[in-house]
Structure 1
């Protein structure tokens, strides 16, 4: 058998990058019977059926290190979460949802604020500073005029990075700026509804330099976190970490409990805006849990 990585899956075909080139394969029927679906980023074993035309059968999926739900991709090293400074305006609630999913998967995280040239008042700098203080790497870029794109490229080398974020923020444009030869499709922003056209139709693993891959994925504007237990939410807000075990009550969720070490740090070590989003998300997950009961 030949080992490789799924770089694209579309229309029931899976394209496997191996040391002998890229093979077009179909997955064995046993995966469907067992409810297993191959995803981009999977390390797999294939049988070669036609060497001349690079055709094969996808026979085995090797164990995954991690798996994202949306975009559907596995075995990534870091998440590159892209938002725009303007056009569309930044949605920090949505940004935090992306961060929570990446934290849950224990990924390295890079936040990119793109289109900074559109924000003449430079309001994005306050957001960048807030997330840097939490401990995130933040790059302020413009794919259009080349601000900080080379610095971002260096942060992606020798890793598999998934690009994620809502439509219209310039993910594909950023990827084109990092590696112009890729020529990914880009779409214009709809002035009427302030949402981008979905220019990326499927997740795809793209090699932009040696041992360096990026995943461009369809944009979207909402994320559901219902698979995360409400009691565990606190562990994905990294600024809470120094304080969660200092509360007076065991099992404190930092909402209504007295003598809460996390709430005592609001305004000092914990940004009140971030805490408010935590409280709202906690209630959202709690309500969902009650509904399922």
Structure 2
């Protein structure tokens, strides 16, 4: 396994690695994989990277209602689904550490342990939602349902948190993790911020655009305004591009979370104001926590 200072130990993605006082490799059946071997460590890193990819793309696809008709992205997402499916198979054949610190290699116990813990979440995470949504004849309601179900994949981040638990002892690693968590939170909030704006920019009952909406004003500023029935569809069309909207949304959430708030993007509707208040409270909670920790350290 290696000493705590060895590269192999540092790269381990599990807090339940083999205890240092048990240096002998336990005897396992041929089809059982040791959870701390080099192959499993490499595989865990691959799953970790793909989980972060999922945590970024799923909220974006759900909020921006992107239908995966792009063949390249559809292939990438399908490969990710297959890898997650393979991960399920491997988890049914991977040892784990028991309550007494012993390595459990009994196939029956391994299966029971996995079924009682992460199996359901992992199974829901690897279902091919994007492939189903890619079909043109899929009902819009069903497509929205499958898009929403993709959010279940974010539950895999719970496993990531457990796997990265032992990195807390490394200062540089903690800094990198905090930056990643902050960026991920800002990304999720940006997706929600756009969803609120997209829902409220057009009043469905009166079929009138809200000219005070930040999305409407962004379209006017960017030279891509909202226009009603511009091509004879009987609907509102135009508006800013998705790239511009996402960058603007991320900019707003970043400035709100860091309590900077330049005011050039401002909430106008009740829904936007409530969400903005929630973001400010999250940002102020982080500042208060930092102040509290510094005060305790000085005492």
Q: Tell me if TM exceeds 0.5.
A: no
TM (norm. structure 1) is 0.31
Structure index of larger Rg: 2
TM (norm. structure 2) is 0.31
Q: Which has the higher contact order (CA 8 A, sep 6+)?
A: 2
